């Protein structure tokens, strides 16, 4: 039995998700239609104030969104529906959408100079700035046999001195700020800072707590934003592959 198990582990078919299927498995986000009358029920019901209505113009900040879809549930006129969400954005402003914005248009690649520096692999140091641990659980799943991020050249390292990128989760708690700064300083240049999850992007549910600013962008230069609460492993993998032109 042991011999057969080891043989299957080494040479058997692995239950990894094909890259093409992973690329098509997008998360859905809320979007209002032209029938929206601006009643404000969705605004009042949003736990992170991700939705706003100004001059009857409906807008959503995906960096704050928890993807709970409570806004769709409370809309009396059924004006809010689910549309495919972008996996990532390279600027904070690109995560703010209104009814006239195509969410898929924000997925830009880094310039070729940056992509050339990293080649077809990237070493990540996960940096928890005070999260609830949901993002860390999902990031740990990136290395399991189903997602197997290593087959795409994505690996997690223990030391920031060995890292190409810092993947930051959590809302930058005051008590973690000094440790995060030291980790950032210990990471060699050139480096990327990736804000993963709504807490890291905007503070999320904890923005009014004992945190610094609204997300980690107020403490370090962020090069990439991956929305979600938490972002699923395939979303993080897709984001890195597309942004760094790592398609295998």
Q: For residue 133, what pLDDT is reported?
A: 92
Contact 165, 192 (CB under 8 A): yes
Q: What is the rounded distance in angstroms from the CA atom of residue 133 to the CA atom of residue 37?
A: 38
Q: What is the rounded distance in angstroms from the CA atom of residue 161 to the CA atom of residue 70?
A: 42
Tokens of 184: 């950032």
Please list the residues that pair with 173 across neighbouring strands.
211
Q: What is the rounded distance in angstroms from the CA atom of residue 214 to the CA atom of residue 190?
A: 25
Contact 129, 216 (CB under 8 A): yes
Tens of pLDDT, residue by residue over 3-58, are: 665 555 544 454 555 566 666 667 899 999 888 888 999 999 999 999 999 888 89
- CA pseudo-torsion sign 80, 214, 221, 160: negative
- Asked if pLDDT for residue 194 goes beyond 90, the answer is yes
Q: For residue 117, what pLDDT is reported?
A: 86
Mean pLDDT of 191-210: 94
Q: For residue 11, what pLDDT is reported?
A: 46
Q: What is the rounded distance in angstroms from the CA atom of residue 183 to the CA atom of residue 202?
A: 21
Place of tokens 């940096």: 127
Q: For residue 12, what pLDDT is reported?
A: 46
Tens of pLDDT, residue by residue over 82-135, are: 999 999 999 999 999 998 788 878 889 999 988 888 888 899 999 999 999 999
Q: What is the rounded distance in angstroms from the CA atom of residue 202 to the CA atom of residue 62?
A: 9
Mean pLDDT of 204-213: 91
Mean pLDDT score across all residues of the chain: 88
- Asked if pLDDT for residue 65 goes beyond 90, the answer is yes
Alpha-helix residue ranges (DSSP H) falling in the chain: 2-11, 19-24, 41-45, 70-74, 112-118, 134-141, 177-186, 198-202, 233-243
Q: What is the rounded distance in angstroms from the CA atom of residue 163 to the CA atom of residue 183?
A: 10
CATH number for region 112-243 = 3.40.50.12280
| Count of residues in the chain | 248
Residue 194: HSE in the Cβ half-sphere, 13 Å Cα cutoff:
28
Tokens of 138: 């999902």
Tens of pLDDT, residue by residue over 144-168, are: 888 899 989 999 999 999 999 999 9
Going from N- to C-terminal start, the domains of the chain cover 112-243
């Amino acid at each position: 039995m042991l011999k057969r198990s080891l043989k299957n582990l080494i040479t058997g078919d692995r239950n990894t998700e094909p890259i093409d299927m992973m690329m098509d498995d997008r998360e859905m986000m809320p979007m209002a239609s032209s029938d929206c009358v601006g009643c404000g029920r969705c605004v009042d019901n949003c736990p992170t104030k991700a939705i706003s209505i100004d001059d009857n113009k409906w807008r959503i900040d995906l960096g704050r969104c928890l993807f709970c879809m409570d806004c769709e549930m409370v809309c009396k006129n059924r004006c809010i529906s689910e549309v495919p969400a972008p996996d990532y954005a390279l600027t904070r402003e690109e995560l703010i959408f209104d009814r006239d914005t195509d969410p898929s248009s924000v997925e830009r690649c880094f310039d070729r100079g940056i992509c050339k520096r990293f080649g077809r692999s990237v070493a990540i140091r996960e940096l928890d700035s005070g999260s609830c641990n949901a993002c860390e659980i999902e990031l740990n799943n990136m290395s399991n046999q189903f997602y197997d991020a290593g087959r795409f050249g994505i690996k997690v390292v223990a030391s920031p001195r060995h890292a190409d990128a810092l993947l930051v989760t959590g809302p930058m708690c005051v008590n973690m700020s000094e440790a995060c700064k030291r980790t950032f300083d210990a990471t060699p240049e050139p480096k990327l800072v990736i804000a993963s999850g709504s807490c890291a992007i905007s503070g999320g549910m904890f923005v009014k707590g004992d945190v610094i600013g609204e997300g980690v962008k107020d403490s370090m230069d962020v090069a990439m934003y991956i929305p979600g609460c938490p972002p699923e492993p395939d979303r993080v993998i897709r984001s890195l592959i597309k942004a760094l032109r790592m398609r295998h």
